[in-house]
């Protein structure tokens, strides 16, 4: 168990915008930050972060909450895992009791697999640095590649001893279960043919140098291992198999170390191998990731898309598999991203080029040789086409096919113009080809246009508008007011019935300076009003108690004290109106009035409107009673008349005219 003192310290220290900024590229938007949703595929921002309130809201998925809720949603952490992650980030010592073997066995399966992977990473690192064989074989290999001690430690590289079950035995001795060693792929278990009741256990990565593969948050998901012998039967590189925590198609090697640099530089270099990433990072270019030898996938591209819209793909000088490799470019374009391509001189790859050149030379080369995808494809395919008109036509169609993948129409048009210029083909022909290739075609474009225009059509008379739950809206507004302004002192002006000189009852203004939460509490108590929505009722009592007891009410502290479901509801209430700032009204010379300008008026009108609504509701019930009663219904009629007078009085206070 993690101590309460540690949890409190984590909440006090952690900054939501810093933590989320490690996973999502955030841009300032007034007092908040906005970015692309990390939970859905989108091209316009719908994700909001409030540094003041220390809560976030994703309007595309409906998710929201505090800093721990984000880590639990995004990284699928348990609550303790999220606290440990934040403690590590902010160098906070975690106070907790040591886990027993029994507690380890009780951990859920995913967590057990993470623990096994983390143990393996530490074990391989120890074997590399603390054993003679590790230093002589593994460490020597890394040094030959030109990696410094600092780089080797940064990427947590390691070595698995060339023993059949050295790692497996060490893990079992530490109390880790064979079941999870097998599920993570670290250990291979085979039945003994001679004795069916027993099994033989082997280390998957025996005799290999190890490259841990981290998630965006830094958890060890799996490994890549490179063999150092000349065994032709064994694969040069071997990856962990697919598991509950490791999915090759959704992971990029180096993303954990590169994420901040990618967001800062607003560009991501995409390479093929582990050593390409490490050598670039050692040279000083940190915004580099690798697909680890697998074909690029939409999930991997979306991972980068959260941090930047720009990708520069780096290819080896050996062009043998170049044409097959550039298929990934179309996938990048489909995601609405900007892509450039850079190839290295023949015989060079990113690893060797970075190793043999100074930082300034590498940067200059990348800057001057990175081509727009059309220029690159054209130069590559035109060489193949030579003077063959049929091949030339196929080349043009290939380029236009890539342009068709781009979702942005303006970009499409610009690229068509560029392609026409490079390939010396008329724009009209290319636009016609584009229309043929595009699956939607002109018919679908017109259909989309008509659907867009429906938003401006007058609503048909027979289409019944969706009913608004007035009481729900007003109760929600009360919770919002308590959260945002509950601790503030405001001057409230109320209209009180008083007798004038002529003996008539008239409304006269009366001022009262009081805290917002006290005003709300007293008004609701006066009319014996209880919130109808159960969730709002629970929030209301928690808020009143907290505002009454705490010297200084903090939204962050209050939200952190709630369970996940209620914290999500609170963040939705507080951030709901923030979604309108995503439209950037100020750039259109529209300046919405801030609610803070009239807090007292907002609170008074909300309470009065709720009272009016409940009175009308009660009057409706009484009218139904008078219709049902056949005998004397004088009492019910008198009560209705009293409510009518009260309703009239409340509407006078609201400056409303009743028909």
* 395 and 444 co-located in one domain: yes
* 222 and 328 co-located in one domain: no
This prediction's pTM: 0.69
- Split into its structural domains, the chain has a count of 5
Give the domain CATH number at 78.
3.90.580.10
Unique residue bearing structure tokens 């999915």 = 247
362 within some domain:
yes
Residue at a domain's end among 451, 481, 497: 451
Q: What are phi and psi of 415, to 5 degrees?
A: -70, -35
Are 276 and 264 within 8 A, CB to CB?
no
The parts of the chain modelled with pLDDT lower than 70 are 97-107, 293, 317-325, 381-386, 439-467, 494-500, 503-509, 577-597, 615, 618-659
Residue at a domain's end among 57, 89, 121: 89
* 616 and 601 co-located in one domain: yes
276 within some domain:
yes
102 within some domain:
no
Q: Can you tell me the distance from the alpha carbon of 405 to that of 407, in angstroms, rounded to the nearest whole number?
A: 6
* 505 and 607 co-located in one domain: yes
The confidence score (pLDDT) of residue 657 equals 44
Residue at a domain's end among 246, 264, 286: 246
β pairing state of 288-290 and 268-271: parallel
The confidence score (pLDDT) of residue 577 equals 65
202 within some domain:
yes
* 261 and 136 co-located in one domain: no
State how far Cα 403 lies from the chain centre: 29
* 483 and 341 co-located in one domain: no
* 194 and 55 co-located in one domain: no
The confidence score (pLDDT) of residue 455 equals 47
379 within some domain:
no
Unique residue bearing structure tokens 């507080």 = 574
Q: Can you tell me the distance from the alpha carbon of 221 to that of 431, in angstroms, rounded to the nearest whole number?
A: 46
255 within some domain:
yes
Q: Can you tell me the distance from the alpha carbon of 220 to that of 114, in angstroms, rounded to the nearest whole number?
A: 7
81 within some domain:
yes
Are 32 and 49 within 8 A, CB to CB?
yes
Q: Can you tell me the distance from the alpha carbon of 242 to that of 184, in angstroms, rounded to the nearest whole number?
A: 8
Cross-strand bridge partners of residue 65: 56
CA angle, corner 89, sides to 86 and 95, nearest 5?
60
Are 497 and 509 within 8 A, CB to CB?
no
Are 221 and 209 within 8 A, CB to CB?
no
Give the domain CATH number at 224.
3.90.980.10
Are 459 and 465 within 8 A, CB to CB?
yes
* 228 and 306 co-located in one domain: no
β pairing state of 310-315 and 268-271: parallel
* 230 and 262 co-located in one domain: no
* 123 and 161 co-located in one domain: yes
Domain, as residue range, for 482: 471-582+594-659
Are 272 and 230 within 8 A, CB to CB?
no
* 237 and 362 co-located in one domain: no
459 within some domain:
no
What interhelical angle do 534-549 and 470-485 show, nearest 10? Answer: 20
Give the domain CATH number at 291.
3.40.1360.10
Q: Tens digit of pLDDT for each residue in 325-359?
A: 677 888 899 888 999 999 998 889 999 999 999 99
* 507 and 633 co-located in one domain: yes
Residue 435 structure tokens? 């229309």
Residue 54 structure tokens? 């220390």
DSSP string, 119-161: HHHHHHHHHHHHSHHIIIIIIHHHHHTT--HHHHHHTT-EEE-
Spell out the residues 6+ positions from residue 310 whose beta carbon is closer than 8 angstroms to its own.
Answer: 266, 267, 268, 337, 338, 339, 340
Q: Can you tell me the distance from the alpha carbon of 479 to that of 650, in angstroms, rounded to the nearest whole number?
A: 22
Q: Can you tell me the distance from the alpha carbon of 220 to that of 212, in angstroms, rounded to the nearest whole number?
A: 6
The confidence score (pLDDT) of residue 77 equals 79
Q: Tens digit of pLDDT for each residue in 64-90?
A: 889 999 998 888 777 888 898 999 999
Helix (H) or strand (E) holding 491: strand 489-499
Q: Can you tell me the distance from the alpha carbon of 342 to that of 459, in angstroms, rounded to the nearest whole number?
A: 53
Q: Can you tell me the distance from the alpha carbon of 257 to that of 439, in angstroms, rounded to the nearest whole number?
A: 39
């Amino acid at each position: 168990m993690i101590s309460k003192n540690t949890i409190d310290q984590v909440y006090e220290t952690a900054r939501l915008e810093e933590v989320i900024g490690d996973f999502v590229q955030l841009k300032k938007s007034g007092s908040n930050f906005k970015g692309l949703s990390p939970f859905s595929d989108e091209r316009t921002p719908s994700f909001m972060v409030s540094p003041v309130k220390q809560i976030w809201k994703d309007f595309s998925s409906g998710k929201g909450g505090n800093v721990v809720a984000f880590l639990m949603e995004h990284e699928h952490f348990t609550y303790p895992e999220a606290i440990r992650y934040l403690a590590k980030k902010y160098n906070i010592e975690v106070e907790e009791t040591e886990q027993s073997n029994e507690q380890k066995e009780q951990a859920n399966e995913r967590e057990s697999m993470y623990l096994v992977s983390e143990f393996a990473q530490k074990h391989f690192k120890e074997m590399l640095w603390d054993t003679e064989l590790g230093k002589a074989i593994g460490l020597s290999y890394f040094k030959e590649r030109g990696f410094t001690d600092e780089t080797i430690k940064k990427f947590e590289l390691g070595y698995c001893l060339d023993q059949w079950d050295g790692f497996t035995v060490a893990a079992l001795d530490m109390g880790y279960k064979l079941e999870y060693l097998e599920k993570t792929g670290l250990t291979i278990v085979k039945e003994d043919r001679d004795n069916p009741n027993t099994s033989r256990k082997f280390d998957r990565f025996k005799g290999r140098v190890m490259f841990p593969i981290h998630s965006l948050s830094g958890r060890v998901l799996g490994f890549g291992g490179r063999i150092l012998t000349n065994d032709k039967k064994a694969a040069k590189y071997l990856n962990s198999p697919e598991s509950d925590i490791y999915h090759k198609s959704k992971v990029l090697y180096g993303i954990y170390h590169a994420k901040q640099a990618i967001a800062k530089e607003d560009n991501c270099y995409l390479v093929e191998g582990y050593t390409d990433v490490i050598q670039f990072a050692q040279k000083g270019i940190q915004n580099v990731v690798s697909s680890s030898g697998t074909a690029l996938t939409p999930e991997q591209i979306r991972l980068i898309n959260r941090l930047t819209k720009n990708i520069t793909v780096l290819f080896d000088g050996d062009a043998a598999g170049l044409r097959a490799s550039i298929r990934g470019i179309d996938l990048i374009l489909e995601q609405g991203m900007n892509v450039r391509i850079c190839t290295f001189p023949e015989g060079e790859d990113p690893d060797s080029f970075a190793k043999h050149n100074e930082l300034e030379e590498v940067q200059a080369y990348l800057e001057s040789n990175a081509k727009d995808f059309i220029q690159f494809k054209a130069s590559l395919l035109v060489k193949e086409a030579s003077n063959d008109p049929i091949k030339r036509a196929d080349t043009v169609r290939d380029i236009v096919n890539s342009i068709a993948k781009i979702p942005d129409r303006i970009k499409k048009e610009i690229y068509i113009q560029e392609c026409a210029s490079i390939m010396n083909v008329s724009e009209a022909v290319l636009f016609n080809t584009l229309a043929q290739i595009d699956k939607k075609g002109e018919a679908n474009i017109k259909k989309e246009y008509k659907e867009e225009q429906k938003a401006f059509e007058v609503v048909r008379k027979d289409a019944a508008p969706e009913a608004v739950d007035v009481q729900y809206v007003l109760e929600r507004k009360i919770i919002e007011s308590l959260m945002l302004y509950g601790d503030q002192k405001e001057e409230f002006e109320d209209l009180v019935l008083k007798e004038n000189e002529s003996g008539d009852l008239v409304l006269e203004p009366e001022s009262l300076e009081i805290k917002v939460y006290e005003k709300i509490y007293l008004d609701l108590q006066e009319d014996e009003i209880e919130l109808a929505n159960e969730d709002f009722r629970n929030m209301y009592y928690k808020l009143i108690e907290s505002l009454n007891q705490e010297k200084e009410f903090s939204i962050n502290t209050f939200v952190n004290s709630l369970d996940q479901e209620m914290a999500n509801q609170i963040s939705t209430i507080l951030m709901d109106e923030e979604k309108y700032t995503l439209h950037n009204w100020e750039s259109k010379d529209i300046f919405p009035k801030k609610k803070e300008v009239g807090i007292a008026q907002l609170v008074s009108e909300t309470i009065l409107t709720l009272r009016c609504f409940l009175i009308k509701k009660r009057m409706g019930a009484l009218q139904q009673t008078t219709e049902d009663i056949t005998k004397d219904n004088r009492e019910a009629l008198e009560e209705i008349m009293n409510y009518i007078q009260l309703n009239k009085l409340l509407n006078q206070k609201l400056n409303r005219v009743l028909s």
